Amino acid sequence: NAGVTQTPKFQVLKTGQSMTLQCAQDMNHNSMYWYRQDPGMGLRLIYYSASEGTTDKGEVPNGYNVSRLNKREFSLRLESAAPSQTSVYFCASSAWDNEQFFGPGTRLTVL
């Protein structure tokens, strides 16, 4: 099992460009999450999907959109990137017990 996979691993964008971060899990988990991690700020939840067909805002949703494509896949879209969105983005998934398992992350730089 690959667990949680994310693409791309690295990305550099110019201000105003758009992009989609992809996440997939093969653990048959119902819930999936997107976090960002910034120095000194810890992990902050952007959006989550408790189950297929539902999405909810987390702590820092502004500037992002998500799509739960199916049970396996959960994508994060930046419509118009800003330098404040420079961060490391992690996708995670969990079963009913809330034990979240993380993907390897995407390092995004917005110039």
Q: Tell me: does residue 58 bind other proteins (CB under 8 A).
A: yes
Query: Judged by CB, which is closer to other proteins: 46, or 78?
Result: 46
| 42 sits near other proteins (criterion: CB under 8 A) | yes
Q: 50-80: string of b/e by CB count within 10 Å (b at 16+)?
A: eeeeebeebebbeebebebeebbbbbbebee
Considering only residues 25, 31, 85, 93, which one is a binding residue for other proteins as defined by CB under 8 A? 31
CB 52 within 8 A of CB 72: no
The yes or no reply on residue 102 touching other proteins (CB under 8 A) is: yes
**Is the CB of residue 57 less than 8 Å from the CB of residue 42?**
no
Please identify which residue in 5, 17, 22, 50 interacts with other proteins, judged by CB under 8 A.
Answer: 50
Say how far apart CA 7 and CA 108 lie, in whole Å.
Answer: 11
Tell me the window of 15-23, 65-73, 79-87, 99-107 that interacts with other proteins (CB under 8 A): 99-107
For other proteins, the binding residues (CB under 8 A) are 31, 40-45, 48, 50, 58, 90, 97-105
